[in-house]
Structure 1
């Protein structure tokens, strides 16, 4: 068990951690509990593939937090269904009267090449990572908006940004966190609700089958402080993504090249201008929570208008 010290405490805050009984989720739960939070440890105790269930892990984790002196309860509902997601959030509301922080960490893995993956294995991962995020965010966000405060931390992955072979289900699920994060940040902006994505790299159960012998230290305790910062009331950012891998912390974001304007195009002209279109020496980077969508259109339209006028 890792003991965290910080001036940024969670006294009086109610935190829900999905997938909170083991690995990264357990590290997050222990951290916020040690800093004064009341914690709902959600974990259905499934195997890495997502199959089966076991109430033991969540109960054991909650008991360990109580042994630390924290207030904690177990939730064994599955994020994979709307009913399960709602029940997880209602556990927080029924037990502690509110929800201040939602950390969606629950995950599973089923490896297969794209040409060979079954629809069952595809959906099994989407149901937990992607739909699971919506299933808990939807009821949590509604309550946070009503209460005028909330922090959401979603779990993305460099596997969602850059991907690797054999995990189309995981890659699609994790890239989807970008859209959900943007929406929570945009729609929560006027209600004190902030959302960010953690892109964690840690050796946990999810690394089973991988050769990690040459990896540097990559324990969950290296990721937990980043999540704690994003989950804290003092966090100044929203709608952003933060990488935490082997002690390195970085911000990840999507950007565009400035591109090329012409009043009309042919296929051959696109091909002829490709180098200029792809030229990344001049980039446009927009922030979702600061009207990035509108700014994208405004600057694109301005380029067209200026070129036409010139």
Structure 2
């Protein structure tokens, strides 16, 4: 099949592109290489997908343009069977600083993708959403019926993204699925996340820093589980028109996460604390029963197994991935 992955040089998009290329599909990646973090990581995502393509004899094309360019989006969607819409301006704190920019990428860009997909009768559009849409919990774990009251412009933009996808499905008959990801982590993840900061600092003999009390909780989802369910949606129409949580069911507080990472690398280090960061949700915890019912989704990595896998990968790739190594 011909697959378009917007944001396909990013973390999750890169893994989806690699997975689909390795399964023999022709993959086109649309990514504007926004310098939100070190672009060398994106280059490694592209290389991983190219290597997967070479092993299967498929085709891989990288287009360095933006989803805000309506004509570019239209031309690429026209030659695709399925679109994985992963492109977005990521980052809660970034959205607090530049809400208009986040809206332009995440909302206007999404409408460009959906319009083109409707025009060219695409088989399916799989949209990346986020647990950030929930905001303050009225109860936990979050199910898809929980009120959506995001506490950051990023969360608002993701809510708009998935609601546009739902409306295009209901009004125009465009097959769409929106996946609400819960704190995805793993190889080649963004380096400015809590887990990468903990691992990097511990490997350099520095205390992990927690922003806030450490009582915040997260549902960490290993990227292998995410890319597996995305590949399934290439041909599976069981969730068309739906919004679905994709998490791990393995809720952990940030204090414990820091301790797990520290104990794996440098048990003698103390943990230090700093002021909380604006816009961060206090708690996330996924109810994945809908994903299980519709897609037989079952997460395979608990947090301790995932952390061990990630630390092992980090050590092997520290020379190009670790921000402290790159700056030295």
* 1:241 counterpart residue number: 243
Contact 1:21/1:61, CA 8 A, preserved across alignment = no
Residue deviations 1:109-167, cap 9 Å, x none? 354499xx45xx001212222222112221122101xxxx5101111111012369996
Q: Secondary structure at the residue paired with 2:87?
A: coil
Contact 1:19/1:106, CA 8 A, preserved across alignment = yes
Q: Secondary structure at the residue paired with 1:231?
A: coil
* 2:50 counterpart residue number: 63
Residue deviations 1:169-207, cap 9 Å, x none? 211111112321222211343xxx411101113126457
Q: 1:153 aligns with which of 116, 119, 126?
A: 126
Separation in 1, partners of 2:104, 2:238 = 31
Structure number with bigger Rg: 1
* 2:101 counterpart residue number: 124
Change (3 A) 1:109 1:245: same
Q: 1:184 aligns with which of 155, 168, 177?
A: 168
Change (3 A) 1:159 1:88: same
Aligned-residue RMSD, C-alpha: 3.5
Separation in 2, partners of 1:240, 1:126 = 23
TM alignment of 1:134-213, pairs within 5 A: 134-144=111-121, 149-162=122-135, 168-189=152-173, 193-201=174-182, 202-203=184-185, 205-206=189-190, 208-211=192-195
Contact 1:55/1:76, CA 8 A, preserved across alignment = no
Q: Secondary structure at the residue paired with 1:236?
A: coil
Q: Secondary structure at the residue paired with 2:185?
A: coil
Separation in 2, partners of 1:153, 1:178 = 10
Change (3 A) 1:106 1:250: farther
Residue deviations 1:213-272, cap 9 Å, x none? 69787331111122222332x3223221121123774438xxxxxxxxxxxxxxxxxxxx
* 1:73 counterpart residue number: 61
List alignment gaps of at least 5 residues for structure 2. Answer: 138-148, 199-216, 250-285, 292-328
Residue deviations 1:64-120, cap 9 Å, x none? 3432322111111111x2xx2431441354xxxx32111111122354499xx45xx
Contact 2:92/2:155, CA 8 A, preserved across alignment = no
Between Structure 1 and Structure 2, how many residues are aligned? 220
Normalized against structure 1, the TM-score is what? 0.60
Contact 1:16/1:40, CA 8 A, preserved across alignment = yes
Contact 1:155/1:198, CA 8 A, preserved across alignment = yes
Q: Secondary structure at the residue paired with 1:251?
A: helix
Q: Secondary structure at the residue paired with 1:106?
A: coil
Separation in 1, partners of 2:14, 2:94 = 30
* 1:219 counterpart residue number: 222
Separation in 1, partners of 2:105, 2:87 = 7
Separation in 2, partners of 1:177, 1:91 = 20
Normalized against structure 2, the TM-score is what? 0.57
- The CA deviation at 1:62 is 5.2
Contact 1:20/1:42, CA 8 A, preserved across alignment = yes
